[in-house]
Structure 1
Amino acid sequence: MTREDSVPGLADTRHSWLRHPMDNPRPHRRRNLVLGALAGLAVVGASAVWLGRSAPEPVATRCTPGRVDPERLKAHVRTLSETFQPRDHAHPENLERAASYIADALARAGGRVRPEPYTAGGKSYRNVIATFGPDGGERLVIGAHYDAAEGAPGADDNASGVAGLLELAALLGGNPPPMRVDLVGFTLEEPPHFRRGTMGSKVHARALRTRGEAVRAMISVESIGYFSDAPDSQRYPVAALRLRYPSEGNFIAVVGQGDDKALIDTVHRALRAAKNDLPSESLAAPRGLEGVDFSDHASFWDEGYPAVMVTDTALFRNPHYHTPQDTWDTLDYARMARVVQGLQCAVEALVTPTPTSQLPH
């Protein structure tokens, strides 16, 4: 997960307060927090459809997810965050090693794996795509970026998402879906490529649109391993959200735009249908609200595809975000395993939609 550091006109206004505290002049931080709070209050007051929780009942899907081993998740995260370091844009050799590791794991799970190579700044990079289920027809895309911010091991952001993707692959390999599901490891999500045409998810979404591929939905698996039961461990981009959401960072969130509320509700209900006691919340909000578009799902919005992010909220919870302290031993793998089970239930709900959860195509 990342913030915008490169788009002119945004880096010094809408996203500036999210940088490291040492990077922010105090007056600018105060001004933007005040403006953000006012904007959030305006959103809350305007419409409950744009901003709010999905109704927890009824759960539209019956789901019995497979077992997910927390130790396997830990092994993936530790390998990605320790062995293939650094994993930033300036070290394509390590990104290539990580891509090979991901491709091997996806192939062992039974996926039909292929690379999606491209060049950026004169260097070679690749997305890794694994297909489960039929080859043709409409598809579901689930992706996680495997690069990390410069100077960070990137355990939560986003080795956790990749580990979840690999364990989801093992579940899908043992029970192939009736509709095509593509699991994709994206490269170059972090600055300086974030929101540029060289971002891995932009390359992939643009190629899908160019070929006219039908995508039922996309889920970005973004930072899913950090949880805390401590009071006030959860922060929000605007103060108004504290009135609606928990103060403890012990839940997983489904985040998207108001236009994708049907998809948000379907994924949220599927997470609850996993019945593994992991709390979940959902947010349907305008794209301008801080954090709503901070990952690969936004690349699919840009191409007109419905998409959501499943996340532990990253920088709004994890104090190690984009620092050298974002290490494998800071994550909660038992709760992370429950997230993966919820993702399996989300796949089941999305590939066999019911009349109560029809999605835009």
Structure 2
Amino acid sequence: MRARSLFIAVALPASASIAGTCYVVQPMAGGRAMSPAPAVSAERLEAHVRALSEEFVPRDYTHPQNLNRAAAYIRDELERAGGRVSVQDFDVRGTTYRNVVASFGPEEGERIVVGAHYDAAGPYPAADDNASGVAGLLELARLLSAAPPGTRVDLVAFPLEEPPFFRTGHMGSAVHARSLRAQGVKVRLMMSLEMIGYFTDAEGSQQFPLAVLKAFYPSRGNFITVIGKLGQASAVRRVKRAMRKASPLPVHSINAPRWVPGVDFSDHASYWDEGYAAVMITDTAFYRNPHYHTARDTADTLDYARMAMVVQGIHAAVLRLA
């Protein structure tokens, strides 16, 4: 996740309508009638994060051996969960990298894609960015295996989200998205899991790039966020509504133009480039997590109980979309 704005509001003129503000912020009135959600193991989430952030380090693009070890670990876990696993190899600057894909549900037809990048920015543990997203992906695999969805769901782990390949065609997600478009695959929605493990109840712990955001979002970093671009508010609303019903964890969202810095700062943008609908699910990165892109981004700093709630919400969203 790039070190720019992740959690963005669109600065609207004073004459902007309430309807416009609602479109951006997606408020949801009324109580939260909880739906039964399957249990997610906080202990397994922590074990996955520790494996990625402690055993396979460093796992930036200059250490392909560790990236390959991480990919093998992910593949083994997805196979153990019961997925139909395949590996998509691709070469960048003379080095082979790989996307790991696990499919659940029907083999044919329209599909839902959920992805997370497993590389790191530099020689850091990168527990939140993005071992947390990959851990969520692996636990989601267990839930989908236990009750296969009616629509095909592909879980994809990507390398090369971080610099110097960020926003280039060399990103693992860009390779995957292009391959789907080339095959004529219809994607109902792509969800990018980008940092889902850091939460805090401290007052003032949630930071913002614009002061106006304080009027619309909490000051405590105790929530998860769904981010989408203009024109795809319906997808954001469906994901947000499903996640809110799956657990007590607060869920907020925003829709903004893609040119606003931060709106496209993860793998979901690769699918936008191919014309697919996509959203990002995130804890807002450095606007909350002071350990972002440092050696302090370790497994001990994450909240696995609330991270488990995020996975419950993502699972509920997948089922709603399917």
Which TM-score bucket, shorter chain as reference?
Answer: over 0.9
Matched, 1:292 2:263: yes
1:48 corresponds in structure 2 to 21
Q: 1:58 to 1:138 in 2, by over 3 A?
A: farther
What fraction of aligned residue pairs are identical, expressed as a percent? 57
Distance in 1 between the 2:218 and 2:43 partners? 28
Match for residue 320 of structure 1 among 287, 291, 312: 291
- Per-residue Cα deviation, 1:173-194 (whole angstroms, up to 9, x for no partner): 1110011000000110000000
1:306 corresponds in structure 2 to 277
Report if the CA contact (8 A) 2:119-2:161 is conserved. Answer: yes
Distance in 2 between the 1:115 and 1:312 partners? 28
The normalised TM-score by structure 2 is: 0.94
2:113 corresponds in structure 1 to 141
Name structure 1 gaps, 5 residues minimum: 4-14, 19-35, 352-361
Distance in 2 between the 1:278 and 1:259 partners? 26
Q: 1:311 to 1:56 in 2, by over 3 A?
A: farther
- Equivalent AA in structure 2 for residue 66 of structure 1: P
The correspondence of residues 1-361 of structure 1 with structure 2, limited to 5 A, is 1-3=1-3, 15=4, 40-42=11-13, 45=16, 47-48=20-21, 50-57=23-30, 63-274=35-246, 276-351=247-322
Find the residue that maps to 2:85 and give its secondary structure: strand
- Per-residue Cα deviation, 1:87-117 (whole angstroms, up to 9, x for no partner): 1000000000000000000011110000010
Report if the CA contact (8 A) 1:73-1:337 is conserved. Answer: yes
Name structure 2 gaps, 5 residues minimum: none
Q: How far is the alpha carbon of 1:56 from its aligned partner?
A: 4.5
Distance in 1 between the 2:191 and 2:15 partners? 25
- Equivalent AA in structure 1 for residue 24 of structure 2: L
Q: How far is the alpha carbon of 1:237 from its aligned partner?
A: 2.3
Distance in 2 between the 1:77 and 1:269 partners? 27
- Equivalent AA in structure 1 for residue 290 of structure 2: P
Distance in 2 between the 1:288 and 1:237 partners? 15
Find the residue that maps to 1:40 and give its secondary structure: coil
Report if the CA contact (8 A) 1:113-1:128 is conserved. Answer: yes
- Per-residue Cα deviation, 1:116-157 (whole angstroms, up to 9, x for no partner): 100111111000000000000000000000001103211000
Structure 1 residue ranges, 4+ long, deviating more than 6 angstroms after superposition: none
Report if the CA contact (8 A) 1:43-1:50 is conserved. Answer: no
Q: 1:86 to 1:212 in 2, by over 3 A?
A: same
Distance in 2 between the 1:157 and 1:344 partners? 21
**Count of aligned pairs:** 318
Find the residue that maps to 2:130 and give its secondary structure: helix
Find the residue that maps to 1:308 and give its secondary structure: strand
Report if the CA contact (8 A) 2:57-2:123 is conserved. Answer: no
Find the residue that maps to 1:185 and give its secondary structure: strand
Report if the CA contact (8 A) 1:40-1:241 is conserved. Answer: no
Report if the CA contact (8 A) 2:104-2:149 is conserved. Answer: yes
Report if the CA contact (8 A) 2:226-2:280 is conserved. Answer: yes
